[in-house]
Amino acid sequence: MGTSAVVLGVDDNGTDDAIAQRLRDLGFVAGEPVRIAAHGPLGADPLLVQIGYTRFALRRAEAARVRIALNEAVTTIATAAAQG
């Protein structure tokens, strides 16, 4: 693992999306460097994602909402973890 990227934003699922707001509150905001540190057994949940010195365990459904720039391509944390 150890895939590094930059956060582009968090996708909202409707108005007053509590999960999207919580992800932003945790630091998943545009311009922040992010690193996919590890994932569960056989590529399963959770994903261990690091922003700065803080690590978060995210379900793939949550990680799929965080858009990132990875090697000049736009993708999500969940997709990047599946590829790498």
Structural domain including 34 reads 3-83
Number of domains in the chain: 1
pLDDT score recorded for residue 83: 75
pLDDT at 84: 65
Q: What is the CATH number of the domain that holds 73?
A: 2.30.30.90
3-state secondary structure of 43: helix
Per-residue pLDDT of the chain (84 residues), as tens digits, is 678 899 999 999 988 999 999 999 999 999 999 999 998 887 778 999 999 899 999 999 999 999 999 877 888 888 888 876
Query: Can you point out the beta strands (E) in the chain?
Result: 3-10, 33-39, 47-51, 54-58, 66-70, 73-76
